[in-house]
Every structure is written in C-alpha cells, then in structure tokens.
Structure 1
Amino acid sequence: MEKSWYPGLMAREEKRLKENLKFIDLVLEVLDARLPLASRNYRLQKMLGDKKRLVILNKADLAEEDITGRWLEVLAREKWPVLAFNAREISGLKKLEKLLLVNRPENLQYRRSLRLMVVGIPNVGKSTIINRLVHKFAVKTGEKAGITRGPQWIRLRAGWEMMDTPGLLSPYFKNNDSALALAAIGSLDFKVVDEENTAKWLVERFLTREKFLSLIKYYVLADDYTGKSAARLLVEIGLSRGCLQKGGGVDKIKAAQLVLRDFRRGVLGRITLEKPEDYEEL
C-alpha cells in the first residue's frame, strides 16, 4: 500500500500524541481480538517506547475463544500485561480495573491523579472501553472510523484521568490482505479499499475457515456451496436479502455493505481473521 493514502490529520495527531505522552503514567493499547497483529500500529509501538502499558484484546466476544487464548500466549511474551476484553461483561470490566490498580505507579508526584492514555487504530473500541470505565457515555462511539476527533481528557473516577486519542493507522500495510482485513473491521476508510472487494475477501475467510454454515443459516442460503466463489456467494446473499437494482440485478455494493455491517455487529458468529500460525516470525 502506498504511503500517499496517509491522511494529514493522522500525521498531525501522531505529533500531538508524542507531545502528550510525557504527561502519561500508563497507556492502554487496544487491539481487535479478531485481528491482533494487523490491528497493531507499529509506528505507535515505536512512539511508546518503554512507556508502561496494558495490552487489551477488545471485542473478544466476536473472536474465536481458542485462538484468542493462543494470541494471549504470544502477546504475553512481551513485558506488558495482556487482557482479553468483552465490553458487554461486567467481569471483564472488573478485571481491567484491577489491572489498572495493580499497575498504578507507586509514587505519583504531588499525589496527583493517575493519568492514563488509550491508544490504537480506528474502530477497535477505545471509546467504548472508556465509556465502560466511566459507567456512562462520556465519548462518542460508532462503526465508522474516525469518530474521536482530537485528544480528550476524561475523569474516570476519583484519582483517575484518561486521555482518549483518535485512532492512528500506519501509513503502510504489510500486504493487500492486511488492508482488506482492516477495512472489514471498520478501521480503514473505503476510499482506500472498496466495499465489494472487502466483503468478498471476508466471505472467502468464512469459506477457508469452514465457518460458512453460519452465513447459510443467517442469510437462509442453499446448503450446497461447494465450488462456489466468494463473489458468487455475495450475489446469493444479495438475492436472499433483496439487495436489487432496477431491472432485478443484484446491487453488489448494497450486498457488500450488508455483510460488512452484520459482521461488525457480531451476528454472523465468532470468527478470528488471523492466527499466530499465520506469521512465521512468531
């Protein structure tokens, strides 16, 4: 992927994040549990350096539990605590709060508040985590990348303050699959990767991971999908859900939007888009 796609806004926010890091005691790095490595911004890793942090695999309820367990083992090789997190469960929130307490610096100057920063790429659920910690909707959330605009200081509780930052993507992607995966989870704008190709890539993942039965059930498709391409199956989903153009042809863009929206909502069942075994370097 060419560097030229990189928005000027992200470059400015990178600079602002660097400037604010010196005021932070503890960083929460948020990754998507369905895409732990591809949803990690390695430029951000370099910026953080040795800054103390917690690594959160968010949306764990949408990922395959056994594969998440393997990712936790891989990430635990780093020196930072790692937590699989489901914002819908109170038990996960309690575990996160406990980790924050355990990792609080012992001697804060002038007995000031603990200053936290939450970082990650767009749409991995940073603002949702903050809202759970605050126990109210302190910051906007949504499927669209770029909901958070500019750093925001939020008081979580007595003695805790957190800075929410806009999602920051790297200007480079490892390969086209990485870009399509990021688009599928909603982290990459469709001005960079189009919706139809992203949806076909996602349907192909369901096929190769032998998860297509969940699509058959949800979209009421024919059981016999052997030998059918992802493009053909996307057309059948469009037919099943009435995504039609004038004249009766399938509106592939609408069908793609439907599949991507349903995937992000979690109604297509649990699926992890990458495994540790996919990476030779791990």
Structure 2
Amino acid sequence: MPIQWFPGHMASARKKAAEAMASIDVVIEVTDARLPEASSNPMIAELRRFRNRPCLKLLNKSDLADPAATRLWMDFYNRQPGVKAVAISAKSAAEVARIPALCSQLAPHRDDGVKPLRMMIMGIPNVGKSTLMNALLKRKVAKVGDEPAVTKHQQTIDLGPGMTLTDTPGMMWPKIDYDADGYMLAASHAIGRNAVIDEEVAAFLGEILIARYPAQLAARYRLDAALVAALDGPALVEAVGRRRGCLVKGGGLDLEKAAQILLQDYRDGALGRISLETPETRAQMIAAAHAAAAQAADEPADAADEAAGDGD
C-alpha cells in the first residue's frame, strides 16, 4: 500500500518558507544520511533554485549510516552546482561548529561586515533539524522529540555577530512519487505512525537488511546466517518475534510488536551502521518503478485490443 503523509500545517509552512527564502543567503538542508535522497524534499530544491540560493546539504545521523554509502552520496551531491554536502551528527559539537563557516563559503558576498549572513534550516520531519538548531545556538530554542512534525512554527534567531538563522517546520511534499521512498521514510520515522502499518514497513525494511546486512541481522537476533539468507521480509519479522518472545494469548506471534522491535533497532542503530539506499540502488529503484508504470499503462490498451478482437 503506497504511503502518503501531508498534514495540513505543512502547506502553510511551505508558503512561509517560500516567503522567507527571498531574504536569506544560504539554505541548510538537513537530510537523513541513511536515505539522503528519499529524505530530500523536492519542494526545497524547487524553492532554492527559483531564488538561486546555494545549499549546504547536511547528511545528518551519519553515525548511524553505512560509511561506504555515505561517501558515495557525498560524491554524488558535491558534483551538483551550488551544493556543498557534508556528513555530520548533530549530536557532535565539533561537527556542528563547522556549519557557519561552510555557509560563509557559499555566500562570500556577505563577508563584508555590512549585512548579516542569513541562513535557513529546512528538511523533512524527524531528520534532526531541532537538535541541530539547539547545537548551533548552544541552548534549547527548538523542541526536540522522537516523533515527526514536532516543530510547527518558523522562527529566526541571531546566531552570532553578523549571522541569523531561521528554523522552519519539517515539511513533507503532497505526493511521494515512489512507493519505496514512502517505506524508507516510514522505517526511519519521518512519517506519522497513523499513516503506516508497522508490519508492512518492517517487512520492507527486512528485505533491504537481508540483502545488504545479513551478518548484522544474524548477530543482533542470534540467528543462523544461512537462515537469514533464506528469509524474506515478512519471515524476518516472524523470526524476530520468535527470538524476542513476542506472543499473544494462545501462543501465536504478536507481529505488530515484532515489527516495532525491528524498526526501533534500526532507528536506534542497534543493528549497526545501516544505509537504505545508495546512488546506484536508487537509480535501479527508479528505473524499475518507471518500467512497472509503463507496463501497467500498456495493459489496459492490450486488454482493449483483445476485447475488440473478440468482437470481430
């Protein structure tokens, strides 16, 4: 089932961000390093390109992501015009401290002591914008929570001499084009739980983990490596449920609880450093989605031809 999530306040947030974009110098886009492109709101790129604003793209939560995959994404983004990509953890003070200087490099015209360097933080829900904002200011000014869409209001604060920082609410976009993106976002807790079914999301996540990180699954849940390789996503959820004693009355498996365990272990980094996509796997996913869409579009025409033939 395709996943879509666009709460009403996000349309207003987009309008206010577009208005603020006219007076800022650098867009700081925060993404999840485990799924950098799936967690990149296409509306942000549209807004900043319309205003011709440079982008400091932060691959946050890099301490949870596969380092090899992160390096590939850094190369991918740093080849794009007007973009500087940096992998960080917003929990690292040293890494966060680099951000103002990086923004200054992207807007050298503001290094004149006349007008302040104006930066704006943007990104989808639950990628760590509020944590980053608090770390930059070295005090709590933004509410932090392990739920998407905690921040609902835009605010601008002086960051220091000659610098201002605007924090925006997490913004999704009205329609997620690829089903896989919806599932990756849900697995990473960027989408509200009321819009997803945990068992389906965990099964999707399981397919990726079995294909790319089987050893980490085997170690975490004390499963035989050969067994892991033979599982599919739903079977992995069942195996986790059996290993963790997720039972309902009568002895059956509590698949919802098992799914939540797998999802939380991924989100917390208990499975190790995991990335859900690379530039290569994303290109393959998009190609497969387009091929499936083309085939689906041809099928009605084929059916109509067959019906016409039957009538001859």
TM-score, normalization: structure 1?
0.90
- Structure 2 residue aligned with 1:19: 19
User: Does the 8 Å CA contact 2:110/2:116 hold for their aligned counterparts?
Assistant: no
Whole-Å separation in 2 of the counterparts to 1:5 and 1:264? 19
- From the superposition, tell whether residues 137 and 220 of structure 1 become closer, same or farther in structure 2 (CA, over 3 Å): farther
Match of 2:243 among 216, 240, 244: 240
1:72 is displaced (CA, Å) by 0.9
Task: Give the C-alpha shift of residue 3 in structure 1.
Answer: 10
Letter in 2 for 1:92: E
Q: Residues 5 and 36 of structure 1: is their aligned pair in 2 closer, same or farther, counting only changes over 3 Å?
A: closer
Structure 2: stretches of 5+ with no match in the other structure: 288-312
Q: 1:218 to 1:249 in 2, by over 3 A?
A: same
Query: Is residue 2:217 matched to residue 1:215?
Result: yes
Q: Which residue of 1 aligns with 2:159?
A: 156
Q: Which amino acid aligns with 1:62?
A: L
Quote the Cα distance in structure 2 between the aligned partners of 1:109 and 1:56: 26
Aligned-pair distance for 1:149?
A: 1.0
Partner of 1:47: 47
- The 8 Å contact of residues 3 and 195 in structure 2, kept in 1 or not, is answered as no
Q: What's the secondary structure of 2:195's corresponding residue? A: coil
- From 173, 176, 192, the equivalent of 2:176 is 173
Q: How many residues are matched?
A: 281
Query: Deviation at 1:88?
Result: 3.4
Deviations 1:84-136 (A, max 9, x none): 11223344223323313333453489934332110011111111111221123
- Higher relative helix content: 2
Greater mean deviation of Cα atoms: 103-112 or 239-248: 103-112
Q: Which residue of 2 aligns with 1:57?
A: 59
The whole-number CA distance in structure 1 between the counterparts of 2:48 and 2:107 is 17
Task: Provide Cα deviations, 1:210-269, integer angstroms capped at 9, x if missing partner.
Answer: x12222222333443342222122122122223222222221111111221221111111
Q: Quick one: which amino acid aligns to residue 131 of structure 1? A: N
* Residue 20 of structure 1: how far off its partner (Å): 1.5
2:275 corresponds in structure 1 to 272
Q: 2: distance between equivalents of 1:222 and 1:205?
A: 18
Identify the residue that residue 121 of structure 2 maps to in structure 1.
118
> Per the alignment, do residues 34 and 46 of structure 1 end up closer, same or farther by CA in structure 2, a change over 3 Å counting?
same
2:67 aligned with 1:85: no
Amino acid in the other structure paired with 1:261: Q
* Distance in 2 (alpha carbons) for counterparts of 1:32 and 1:131: 18
8 Å CA contact 1:33–1:68 kept in 2: the answer is: yes
SS of aligned partner of 2:141: coil
In the TM superposition, residue 25 of structure 1 has moved relative to its aligned partner by 2.0
User: What amino acid is the match of 2:185?
Assistant: L
Which secondary structure does the structure 2 equivalent of 1:61 belong to? coil
Letter in 1 for 2:7: P
Q: 1:69 to 1:3 in 2, by over 3 A?
A: closer
Q: Tell me the TM-score normalized by structure 2.
A: 0.82
Shift of 1:273: 0.7
* 1:162 partner SS: strand
- Looking at structure 2, the residues matched to 268 and 127 of structure 1 have their Cα atoms a distance apart, in angstroms, of 25
Distance 2:4 2:123 in 1: 21
Q: How far did residue 83 of structure 1 move? A: 0.7
Q: What does the per-residue CA deviation read over 1:53-82, in whole Å, with 9 as the maximum and x for residues that have no partner? A: 211111111111122111111111212211
CA contact (8 A) 1:123 1:143 kept: yes
Residues 63 and 273 of structure 2 are in contact (CA less than 8 Å); yes or no, is this contact kept in structure 1? yes
Aligned-partner SS, 1:197: helix
Are 1:250 and 2:257 an aligned pair? no
Once residues 69 and 162 of structure 1 are traced to their aligned partners in structure 2, the CA distance between those partners, rounded to angstroms, is 28
CA distance in 1, matches of 2:94, 2:113: 33
Q: Which has the larger radius of gyration?
A: 2
CA contact 2:104–2:110 (8 Å) conserved in 1: no
Whole-angstrom distance in 2 between the partners of 1:68 and 1:37: 11
Alpha-carbon separation, structure 2, partners of 1:2 and 1:176: 5
What residue number does 1:34 align with? 34
Identity %: 36
